[in-house]
A and B are shown apart, each in its own frame.
Chain A
Amino acid sequence: MIGAQVLIECLKREGVEVIFGYPGGQVLPIFDKLYDADIRFILTRHEQGAAHAADGYSRATGKVGVCLATSGPGATNLTTGIANAYMDSIPMVAITGQVKTFLIGNDAFQEADVTGITRPITKHNFLVKDVKDLARIVREAFFIASTGRPGPVLIDIPSDVQQQDTEFIWPEEVKIRGYNPTYFGHPGQIKKAAKLISQSKKPIIYAGGGIITSGASHELKELAEKIQAPVAMTLMGLGGFPGTHELSLGMLGMHGTAYANHAIMEADLIIAVGARFDDRVTGRLDAFAPHAKIIHIDIDPASISKNVKVDVPIVGDAKNILGQLLQEIKKAPDTSDWLKTVETWKKKHPLAYKDGGKVKPQYVIEQIYEATKGEAIITTEVGQNQMWACQWYKYDHPRTFLSSGGLGTMGFGFPAAMGAKVGYPQAQVFDIAGDGSIQMNIQELATCVCNKINVKVAILNNGYLGMVRQWQELFYKKRYSYTFLYNPDFVKLAESYGAVGIRVTKKEEVRPAIEKALSIDNTVFIDFHIEPEENVYPMVPAGEAIDRMIDGLA
């Protein structure tokens, strides 16, 4: 069996159903074997689209996403998508072709040092120099990508290795002596945490993407209800706890809800689960949660005490540890006064916007929420569209909000929606986009149409790079330096690809357009012409404490 066939055989055994990718000179042997393989291959129109699609597929399904590209430019085009998956701990295997082994280092045509380039943006990577190692490497790659704190793993395969003959041996077991993630919390630490929880008066749960990765939503809900603690989520954590639950505070941080930010600042105990105290969450670090003791549950020991000092660190898998905690907590704290205070904040500072004549982006998202009954998979681009999608859609289920958290990649949402739709063909998948972001991977319209991957794209079109413009308005004296956009006609553009375009310029057209898009069995772009200078509020200016919010409504 030649290397290319070994690869396909391994992918099948790993349960891979779909690969997103793009062919090229140094992956010809693999593509030749793919031609006959019963693995679905989706040809994207750019390798970045393939990487984000694999990422979106993984976020929606929990399975390992797979993308494939050729050497040199094919591989470098994947890198943004790989870095994106790395920052958000998304399990992904990226396979790249490489020039023949004897040409490596020769500056050969379409050669790039891909393992070198991707070293800091992968959990691990491999250059396969001998076909005999290929099966083991593929097995290890999937194992590493999907266990512990997940992440992308890259396998670089020279084209001569793809053609070499070998005996196919499937390694049943994976043993990597330097890699032993901890899955269960230390019993002593669990006891300490349980004691702190029982003694607390103003506890808050700060839930991150780790809840979703480990499938701990059920345990989280049980814990929150048992100890009657409000739950604030990070962007990555949205959907990990039901957004409509009375204990939900929605998202916290820079554009979080005022009540989430007040609550974490006033809390006497923070139970952080699968979150990493990112600067967008903590604001000014030395002013963050001054009264709180902190329990930090995370599978990655390096995330603990990286940014804030933690009182009770617990390393392990969130689902297991929350289960252990639930057993250990004998006495629930009395939080009734605390919940009353939180309730007053909720009443006093609700999420709000001034409704006016023009189409308001917040209104658009509320209408998408209602029209989809909160059951759609929402992806976002990055910027204002993303923040409004966090604020105005309520996510009740894990894996229904897919957004580029750590890296903040414009151009993520559309191909990610495509990947999610491939993973869940029966779901309605909506990309909430901006007019800037959507143009960063707009070529994937062809992929959607050709493969009948019917996603809906809501373009919140304000004619600006809105979030940058907002900062320029607030902090750079309205000097709108290169943030005004000249845009194509998105309706005609969608139509030229064989998709459907709808333009919305009036408030009363919003809901009918959404309903229409949902009823059409095709990819639909809805071009919402929104209030051009609408801002995202509340907002914590960079470097401020997170309860120093501006709301823009006064």
Chain B
Amino acid sequence: MRHTISVLVENKFGVLARIAGLFSARGYNIASLAVSETLDPAMSYMTIVVEAQDEKILEQIKKQLNKLIDVITVTDFTKKEHVDSEVILVKINYSAKDKVKLESIVNNYVAKLIQHKGNTAIIEMVGGGERIKQLLEALSHFGIKELIRTGKIAMA
């Protein structure tokens, strides 16, 4: 099962390697990871989506993260009310005759057509997991050539 965890860390070099190293050394899987500075530039905020088979492993992940000296707080969003979001870019096959159809999908999902070159188009969307899933489904019959996601960020 996937769990979203956020980790507030000291904004020091090497801190990302510490977190990533912890996951790889202990055999935990990272599904996505988003990192950036906070309002206070001395700290960074990481949102990590982890793959954990059971509660015990999730507990271990949180405890091991907490053990790192550069980790200030660990928040588990699994049982916590929160909002989350990510940015995706989707490149699809596209020709002018699909214009109306695509525009309606794009409007429907509050996405954006940000580039149209030759016979491909790039759509951008910001949103939660379910809406992204639906958009991708709607776009699938155009033929998706490429998909890039930033990874989830979450806030309670």
Among residues of A, the one whose C-beta sits closest to the C-beta of B71 is A178
Q: How far is the CB of A151 from chain B (nearest CB, A)?
A: 10
A124 close to B (CB within 8 Å)? yes
Among residues of A, the one whose C-beta sits closest to the C-beta of B14 is A115
Q: How far is the CB of B70 from chain A (nearest CB, A)?
A: 6
A552 close to B (CB within 8 Å)? no
A302:B64 contact, CB within 8 angstroms: yes
Most A CB within 10 A of own CB, among B56, B64, B67: B67
B21:A176 contact, CB within 8 angstroms: no
B69:A123 contact, CB within 8 angstroms: yes
Q: Answer whether A124 and B60 are a contact pair too, CB < 8 Å, given A119-B18, A178-B10.
A: no
B14:A178 contact, CB within 8 angstroms: no
A179 to B68, CA, bound (A): 8
A177:B66 contact, CB within 8 angstroms: no
B contact residues around A305 at 8 Å (CB): 56, 59
Which of under 10, 10 to 19, 20 to 34, or 35 or more describes the interface residues of A? Answer: 10 to 19
A contact residues around B60 at 8 Å (CB): 302, 306
B contact residues around A124 at 8 Å (CB): 69-70
Over the window 496-517 of chain A, the binary record of Cβ atoms lying under 8 Å from chain B Cβ atoms (1 yes, 0 no) is 0000000000000000000000
A302:B25 contact, CB within 8 angstroms: no
A contact residues around B13 at 8 Å (CB): 127
A116:B63 contact, CB within 8 angstroms: no
Across the interface, A116 reaches (CB within 8 A) one of B17, B66, B70, B71, namely B17
Q: Answer whether A127 and B68 are a contact pair too, CB < 8 Å, given A120-B21, A120-B25, A301-B63.
A: no
Q: Answer whether A119 and B21 are a contact pair too, CB < 8 Å, given A301-B63, A305-B56.
A: yes
Across the interface, A178 reaches (CB within 8 A) one of B25, B64, B70, namely B70
B contact residues around A306 at 8 Å (CB): 60
A contact residues around B9 at 8 Å (CB): 178
B contact residues around A176 at 8 Å (CB): 69
A300 close to B (CB within 8 Å)? yes
B121 close to A (CB within 8 Å)? no
Q: How far is the CB of B132 from chain A (nearest CB, A)?
A: 33
B residues 60-89 touching A (CB-CB < 8 Å): 60, 63-64, 66-72
Q: How many A-B residue pairs have CB under 8 A?
A: 38
B56:A119 contact, CB within 8 angstroms: no
A295 close to B (CB within 8 Å)? no
A194 close to B (CB within 8 Å)? no
Which of under 10, 10 to 19, 20 to 34, or 35 or more describes the interface residues of B? Answer: 20 to 34
Q: Answer whether A301 and B66 are a contact pair too, CB < 8 Å, given A120-B25, A177-B72.
A: yes
Over the window 172-214 of chain A, the binary record of Cβ atoms lying under 8 Å from chain B Cβ atoms (1 yes, 0 no) is 0000111100000000000000000000000000000000000
Q: How far is the CB of A156 from chain B (nearest CB, A)?
A: 11
B67:A302 contact, CB within 8 angstroms: yes
Across the interface, B69 reaches (CB within 8 A) one of A116, A179, A300, namely A179
Q: How far is the CB of A453 from chain B (nearest CB, A)?
A: 34
Q: Answer whether A178 and B68 are a contact pair too, CB < 8 Å, given A301-B63, A306-B60.
A: yes
A144 close to B (CB within 8 Å)? yes
Q: How far is the CB of B86 from chain A (nearest CB, A)?
A: 27
B63:A302 contact, CB within 8 angstroms: yes
Q: How far is the CB of A447 from chain B (nearest CB, A)?
A: 33
Q: How far is the CB of A255 from chain B (nearest CB, A)?
A: 28
A226 to B117, CA, bound (A): 82
B contact residues around A116 at 8 Å (CB): 14, 17
A306 to B57, CA, bound (A): 8
Q: How far is the CB of A307 from chain B (nearest CB, A)?
A: 10
B contact residues around A115 at 8 Å (CB): 14
A354 to B81, CA, bound (A): 67
Over the window 106-145 of chain B, the binary record of Cβ atoms lying under 8 Å from chain A Cβ atoms (1 yes, 0 no) is 0000000000000000000000000000000000000000
B contact residues around A178 at 8 Å (CB): 9-10, 68-72
Q: Answer whether A127 and B14 are a contact pair too, CB < 8 Å, given A119-B21, A302-B64.
A: yes
Over the window 106-139 of chain A, the binary record of Cβ atoms lying under 8 Å from chain B Cβ atoms (1 yes, 0 no) is 0000000001100110011001000000000000
A contact residues around B17 at 8 Å (CB): 116, 119
B contact residues around A179 at 8 Å (CB): 69
Over the window 26-64 of chain B, the binary record of Cβ atoms lying under 8 Å from chain A Cβ atoms (1 yes, 0 no) is 000000000000000000000000000000100110011
Q: How far is the CB of A179 from chain B (nearest CB, A)?
A: 5
A contact residues around B70 at 8 Å (CB): 124, 178
A306 to B60, CA, bound (A): 7
B contact residues around A302 at 8 Å (CB): 60, 63-64, 66-67
Q: How far is the CB of B92 from chain A (nearest CB, A)?
A: 41
Q: How far is the CB of A115 from chain B (nearest CB, A)?
A: 6
Q: How far is the CB of B73 from chain A (nearest CB, A)?
A: 8
A123 to B18, CA, bound (A): 11
Among residues of A, the one whose C-beta sits closest to the C-beta of B73 is A178
Among residues of B, the one whose C-beta sits closest to the C-beta of A300 is B67
A contact residues around B22 at 8 Å (CB): 120
A contact residues around B64 at 8 Å (CB): 302
Among residues of B, the one whose C-beta sits closest to the C-beta of A123 is B69
Q: How far is the CB of A112 from chain B (nearest CB, A)?
A: 15
B contact residues around A300 at 8 Å (CB): 67
A contact residues around B71 at 8 Å (CB): 178
A127 to B12, CA, bound (A): 11
A contact residues around B21 at 8 Å (CB): 119-120
List 10 tightest A-B contacts by C-beta distance, closest first. A302-B63, A124-B69, A178-B72, A120-B25, A179-B69, A301-B63, A178-B71, A119-B21, A302-B64, A302-B67
| Subset of 13 A-B contacts with CB under 8 Å | A115-B14, A119-B21, A120-B22, A123-B69, A127-B13, A127-B14, A176-B69, A178-B68, A178-B69, A178-B72, A300-B67, A301-B63, A302-B64
Given contacts A119-B17, A306-B60, 5 further A-B contacts (CB under 8 A): A119-B14, A127-B14, A178-B72, A301-B63, A302-B60
